[in-house]
Structure 1
Amino acid sequence: MDIIKAFKKELMEEAVTTRKFLKLIPEDKYEWAPHEKSTKMQSLAVHIAELPSWISLAVNADELDFAANEYKQTPVADNAALLEIFEKSLEAGNNALDQLQDKDLENRWVLRHGENILWEGTKYSMIRHSFSQTSHHRAQLGVYLRLLNIPIPGSYGPSADEQHF
């Protein structure tokens, strides 16, 4: 099995679904969250849009140290800007996979904050983790949209809003 080819296929398949979800976000609800402990919709959406670029991070680096690299979320004014971030992130992830070699998949990859290791695995597992994060946060966005009474697209089959049996 060609793992890198499978990653590229999965990236493009997930992109179709993610794009559908991002397009549905009401711009007037960017500052909305379903609960005081929940992330605001804009922050969640930007995070989802940036997730494909985690693949390039996994391929091109051996670690991410939050103590040395403070994260600053890209502000967006509208869905067009949000989708632009997503498309650039998708391109970065796809291009990184083009540069990846099978032998590199088993190399160590670490997420840390200074000396505190938050997560440790291989480049393979970090790429898998980025796909899992996409599914997880897209589902979270689906809950936000549902609570706003916005019909939800299916991710891996029809949603309750798409049932046409």
Structure 2
Amino acid sequence: MDVFEAIHTRRSIRKYKDRPVPQELVTKILRAAMSAPSAVNAQPWVFIVIDDRKLLDEIPTFSPYAGMCREAPLAILVCGDITLEKAPGYWVQDCSAATQNLLLAAHAAGLGAVWTGIYPMKDRIEGFRKAFELPEHVIPLALVPIGYPNQRPEHEDRYREEKVYHNKYGRKRMNL
């Protein structure tokens, strides 16, 4: 699958088959996540791979939009370690880029995944901090449940010409 196909066909998958994801594939996905760009190449991310059924089942009790964890064979918690930042405040962008790489890599590998938001919701941050024993300098950004998809959402072209301006806001490209 080329990068354009991966980008255009990736969808949020919330239903998974009862099938484990091999560790080699998890490592491959994490390698892709860690290949993301980061401010001053700080790479302030930390990943927690969660495959303990009890922990996965507990997540929806403090993260209300992560109910799919109850059937996902694993999830990856993407966190920013602010002690690793070289450009303060950019950890969110850095970890978001890593999360997008993770989603695309999972899709390219035939897996389904969905980005569930944590940061900046204080209650979710505290829930993940407590459940996964995160120190204060490690901030959870996103949880990505992953598994073999048990659904196939339709592809849709999301390009919208009305959202594109030329040189300045509100200015459309003139056809010559």
TM-score (norm 1): 0.29
* Greater fraction strand: 2
* Greater fraction helix: 1
